[in-house]
Amino acid sequence: MLTFKRVFLATLCGLVFGLICMGLASSNPNTVSPITSTTKWLIILSRTMMGFMIGISALRMKWWLHGVMLGLISSIPMALPVLDNLNIAIGSLVMGMIYGFLTELITSVFLKARSVGSLVKPSND
């Protein structure tokens, strides 16, 4: 079962982390070609979708593992096109795991908008 508060807060965290990620990606002056505006929008959209994914997920696992796992999974589409530059691909995956962890930390721990699936205790049948 979804709660609006959780979905909204997690999506908002994803948007904020998307803006941070886009800022970090376009701040490197040593790049051969600058990042296009399409790529900048895709970075923002990808991280926002990561937050939305975390918000709607009701997987039963620890909050930190939930954030790390969904952050990693949602970063795979961003890492695949840049596999020729392994540093960027690995950086994208690692940062996705960090952003996922932080999204869950802010949403579940600080703002107490926990997933309903994580609140239900399994029966001892």
Question: What is d(CA 107, CA 103) in angstroms, rounded to the nearest whole number?
Answer: 6
Best CA proximity match to 102, nearest among 57, 58, 70, 61: 70
Higher-confidence position of 36 and 125: 36
pLDDT above 90 for 44: yes
The predicted structure's pLDDT at residue 98: 97
Please write the tens of the pLDDT for every residue from 92-119.
999 999 999 999 999 999 999 887 665 5
The predicted structure's pLDDT at residue 88: 86
pLDDT above 50 for 125: no
Domain locations in the chain? 4-24+40-111
Percent of residues, the chain, with pLDDT higher than 70: 89
pLDDT above 80 for 46: yes
Per-residue CA distances from 58 to 1, 26, 66, 98 (Å) = 7, 34, 9, 20
Average pLDDT of the segment spanning 61-68: 94
The predicted structure's pLDDT at residue 93: 95
